[in-house]
Structure 1
Amino acid sequence: MAKMKALVCRECGKEYPTEAIHVCELCFGPLEVKYNYDEIKTKVSRQSIEAGPKSLWRYQDFLPIEGKPTVGLYAGFTPLVRAHNLGAYLGIDELYIKNDCVNHPTLSFKDRVVAVALTRARELGFETAACASTGNLANSVAAHAAQAGMQCYVFIPGDLEAAKVLGNLIYRPKVIEIEGTYDDVNRLCSEIAGERQWAFVNVNVRPYYAEGSKTLAYETAEQLGWRAPDQVVVPMASGSLLTKIWKGLNEFKTVGLLDAVNTKVNGAQAEGCSPIATAYKQGRDFFKPVKPSTIAKSLAIGNPADGYYALKTVAESGGAMDAVSDDEVVEGIKLLAQTEGIFAETAGGVTIGVLQKLAKQGLIKRDDVTVAYITGNGLKTQEAVVDSVGRPYRIPPSLAKFEQTFGQQGEA
């Protein structure tokens, strides 16, 4: 019996075959994968997972592919870091950083979703990969397409950080910069997807792509000793990652891998693009699209596809949402680096900034087992912090000058 039953509309419940479709033809609601959990339950155990590969594919039975994985074989299973120093600073006794800064091969959590999406795309017979991206996704699609021998087109806003643009070009895809925001890019890609037989990972292949995010939840639970955390803090762009972490934890409970899930799911956005967090703070269950204006460009989606579902997830879990200014984003990046030695991109600064706010507000308590998701590497967004970290000391090659500068004990 197949583990994937169907694609099902998240609004009206109509079911579709597991093909390259993503929108319900009746109500235009988004589609997601429906699984046969009774079948999965017969195949998995804590022991079988622990004996699996040191990658996200140790959770293959929960992922929407029919055969063996063929793309992104080394993605995932990134460190869960016990953040003693940052926890002491914030007043949280058991704080962890889920560090996707070191994910393979492009140093962001997008390597997870692309590994799943392109493995499924190849099963469906696609030869060309494509995406609309704020940066990290394009990097990952370009890299994985190169490894898979697929043609590749990536579409990005025209104002991305230089490292992310270079992180596309090095793999020799067709890189198309659009004069506009991510939402403009996404609209164009939706039109192209209707005309070309390409696997747009976050358009026509989106139901499979989104499932890759669940692996962050699976790894967290396993790395915590097969328990769900009390609190998680998740950066939000489309809102999909937040919803899938919740889904992943509850799937583990459904098949008996976790005894309970009492996790409060918290969402983090930058103030310059915070349609979901603003809706939460105003007590609304719907969001109003905005025009992004923030240094956190990887989160700059003004019309988030999963915004409604992110609000629903936070309400269901009893979590909260908040937003931080660009200055607070920079301070969050620096705080994580200076306490735990982890250099995160701007999305990580958003996560740490909101984590700090929630702790100060008492919404995250000292004894809560808390996990903050850091989804990308700071080397990709150096422009955000270059003016706030100072400059090197410059001296001639002279011991006397060194001691004059730093003193006999080596302190400035």
Structure 2
Amino acid sequence: MRQGAFGHATALACRECGHRVDLGPHYACPECFGPLEIAYDFPVVTRAEIEAGPPNIWRYKALLPVPSDIEDSPNMEPGFTRLLKAHNLGRELGIDNLWVKDDSTNPTQSFKDRVVACALSAAREMHAKVFACPSTGNLANAVAAAGARAGIKTVVFIPSDLEKPKQVNSAVYTDSLIAVEGNYDDVNRLASEIAGEEDGWAFVNVNVRPYYAEGSKTLGYEIAEQLGWRLPDQVVIPVASGSQLTKVDKAFQELIKLGLVEEKPYKIYGAQATGCSPVSVAFKAGVDAIRPVKPDTIAKSLAIGNPADGIYVLDICKRSGGAVEDIDDDQVREGILLLARTEGIFTETAGGTTVGVLKKLVETGQLDTTLETVVINTGMGLKTLDAVSDSVGPAATIEPSYDAFRQIGITS
């Protein structure tokens, strides 16, 4: 690997015991088998330097495990998506100051483009021959597209019952889309086995997971920068593996330590669908262990029954004074329609889950409606049309005449 291949990253550090190993394709601590994450020796970074950077995640390259010339390599240039003031949704829910961080405008219409960009950089530096992933859909789309742009072979593995649009959104970029009979946890186990047996394969969320996960920090960086370099009071984030939530928290903590934002308390809330809610169940039971479940929900992008970062989500939500909550599939659909009909944002089932949980948090008094709140929309609704296709359609079918129009009773 070339000098500076991972920027200001210095090692991989175990979250559990603190043991450090050299940067490379490692993801489990050799001492205690705990998860590894990136450790850094950050330089002095100013707001002006970041603001002068490109309008994508590479404006934060000094805080990521990527080389200084990362912009010169072919990549999807994700990030710096819009932060929208949600006046209508806030009024509907009774929240005084509400924002939507809308990641559906990324290159493949989900936040996964962020994490994949960091994983691809690591795969290149490790001279990987195959860029791969197990996925519930959005990650497969992002990996296949990024691999195509980078000119590296991609192989993506998905559950065979995945929504058809997400299958198509991957298959257009790669001829190596592999459907596996089973749920995501079955697919992930297969990917781990392949990663252990095949040389030259970079599985973004397996053997290069520490680098991949760092991409989620950019959501936290952007929220703070777009708010005028300050942290919000409350954030509501969907939980699948839990990595996104933990890395948004890590981003906020890094910004504080670097002096880029003023230190202040903030609450983090996790959102799950009831049909796959092991973290929510554990939070409500007041226990620290996550009991794996078999997913049964329309929110397939959140359908990870054994979330790798579940215990860390619990810790962050408890420490910050937040919570982890869940809603059923009907409430997920309601969340999709609520966001679409108040703010003109068509979200997928993960976003419907997050908006639905936001609503529930207000109704149950768990969220302070007077505080500035950000809700994260992670993906585009066109990928999960089946979730709402039976709930929406023409209000009426009429003859092409004014009299026929008058009869349906629509008025200004």
Q: Does the aligned pair in 2 maintain the 1:57–1:73 contact within 8 Å?
A: no
Q: Is 1:279 aligned with 2:288?
A: no
In structure 1, the residue matched to 2:32 is 27
Deviations 1:298-317 (A, max 9, x none): 00000001111111111221
Tell me if the contact between 2:62 and 2:68 (Cα under 8 Å) persists in the aligned partners.
Answer: no
Counterpart CA distance in 2 for 1:320 and 1:195 is 40
Residue in structure 2 matched with residue 52 of structure 1 by the alignment: 53
Structure 2 contact 214–247 (Cα < 8 Å) conserved: yes
Moved more, 289-298 or 3-12: 3-12
Task: Tell me what 2:116 maps to.
Answer: 114
Aligned to 1:182: 184
Letter in 1 for 2:345: I
Q: CA deviation at 1:394?
A: 2.3
Separation (CA, whole Å) in 2 of partners of 1:59 and 1:342: 27
Instruction: Tell me what 1:338 maps to.
Output: 341
> 1:403: how far off?
3.1
Corresponding position: 1:372 with 2:367: no
Mapping 1:391-402, distance limit 5 Å:
391-402=394-405
Counterpart Cα distance in 1 of 2:269 and 2:95: 16
User: How far off its partner does 1:392 sit?
Assistant: 5.0
Task: Note the alpha carbon deviations across 1:231-290, whole angstroms, 9 max, x for none.
Answer: 000000001100000000110011100111411010000000000010000001111000
Q: Which letter does structure 2 place at the counterpart of 1:76?
A: G
Structure 1 range deviating more: 275-284 or 361-370: 361-370
Paired AA for residue 51 in structure 1: A
- CA distance, structure 1, for counterparts of residue 374 and residue 75 of structure 2: 25
Partner SS, residue 298 of structure 1:
helix
Cα offset, 1:121, TM superposition: 1.0
Partner of 2:407: 404
Distance in 1, Cα, partners of 2:262 & 2:136: 37
- Contact 1:72–1:111 (CA under 8 A) maintained in structure 2: no
Cα RMSD for the two superposed structures? 1.3
After TM superposition, give the deviation of residue 4 of structure 1 in Å.
Answer: 1.0
- Which residue in 1 is equivalent to 2:154? 152
SS in 2 for 1:117: helix
> Which residue is equivalent to 2:127?
125
TM-score, normalised by the number of residues in structure 1? 0.96
The residue aligned with 2:393 is 390
Paired residues in the alignment total 404
For 1:299 and 1:68, the matched residues in 2 are separated by: 34
Task: Provide the secondary structure at the position in 2 that maps to 1:53.
Answer: coil
Q: Does 1:225 align with 2:233?
A: no
What does residue 11 of structure 2 align with? 6
Contact preservation (8 Å) 2:237, 2:354: yes
TM-score, with structure 2 as normaliser: 0.96
- Map 1:266-345 to 2 at 5 A: 266-345=269-348
Post-superposition CA distance 1:127-171 (Å, at most 9, x none): 310000000000000000000001010000011111000001101
Unaligned runs of 5+ in 1: none
Amino acid at match of 1:58: R
One-letter amino acid of the structure 1 residue matched with residue 312 of structure 2: Y
Q: CA deviation at 1:49?
A: 0.8
- Provide the C-alpha distance between the structure 1 equivalents of 2:403 and 2:78, rounded to a whole number of angstroms: 50
The amino acid that maps onto 1:276 is V
Give the letter for the 2:277 counterpart: S
2:143 and 2:288 map into 1 onto residues whose CA distance is: 33
Q: Please tell me whether the aligned partners of residues 71 and 116 of structure 1 are also in contact (alpha carbons under 8 angstroms).
A: no
- Which position in structure 2 is the counterpart of 1:255? 258
Q: Deviations over 1:82-123 (max 9, x none)?
A: 0001101111111000001111x1100000000111012112
Distance in 1, matches of 2:340 and 2:206, equals 35
Between the aligned partners of 2:246 and 2:264, the Cα distance in structure 1 is: 14
| 2: CA distance, partners of 1:347 / 1:71 | 29
Larger mean CA deviation between 255-264 and 202-211 belongs to 255-264
Query: Identity over aligned residues, as a percent?
Result: 56
Q: SS of 1:194's equivalent?
A: helix
Pick one of 167, 170, 174 that aligns with 2:169: 167
Asked if the contact 1:142/1:173 (under 8 Å) is kept, the reply is no
Shift of 1:350: 0.7
